[in-house]
Amino acid sequence: MSKKILITEDDPFLVKISSNRLKEEGFEVDQANDGEEALALMEKNKYAMVLLDLIMPKKDGFAVLKELAERKDKTPVFVFSNLSQEEDKEEVLKLGAKGFYIKSDVAIDELVEIVKNTVK
């Protein structure tokens, strides 16, 4: 299986630290700064997993999940957001996300473990 991960996040610092750690663990990492870029990359490439923020420019994470559902894309998507409302979590899971994590609650090593457990 491919070990290619897509990080969709508009915070350059978060992208850099998570991307670097995942690369250290042997993953290939692409990044998108907004939902439109993520969807375009997912049309061109096959990813083992997508890490998706919800609040982004152009297309937010909710719109990305809706479009992936319409495309019947089966790529596992895990949402990492600072939105902590229960209804946001329920919505993303209903839209097909495999997991929902609050960024401030997840250490970078935990993120790496989530990816390793998903991409075997």
pLDDT band at 1 (very low <50, low <70, confident <90, very high): low
Q: For residue 54, give the DSSP letter.
A: S
Domain architecture of the chain: domains with CATH: 4-118 (3.40.50.2300)
Q: What is the pLDDT of residues 12-35, one digit of tens each?
A: 999 999 999 999 999 999 999 999
Closest residue by Cα to residue 119 from 39, 29, 44, 9? 29
Reported as a single tens digit per residue, the pLDDT across 86-110 is: 999 999 999 999 999 999 899 999 9
pLDDT for the residue 120: 79
pLDDT per residue as tens digits for the range 58-81: 999 999 999 999 999 999 999 999
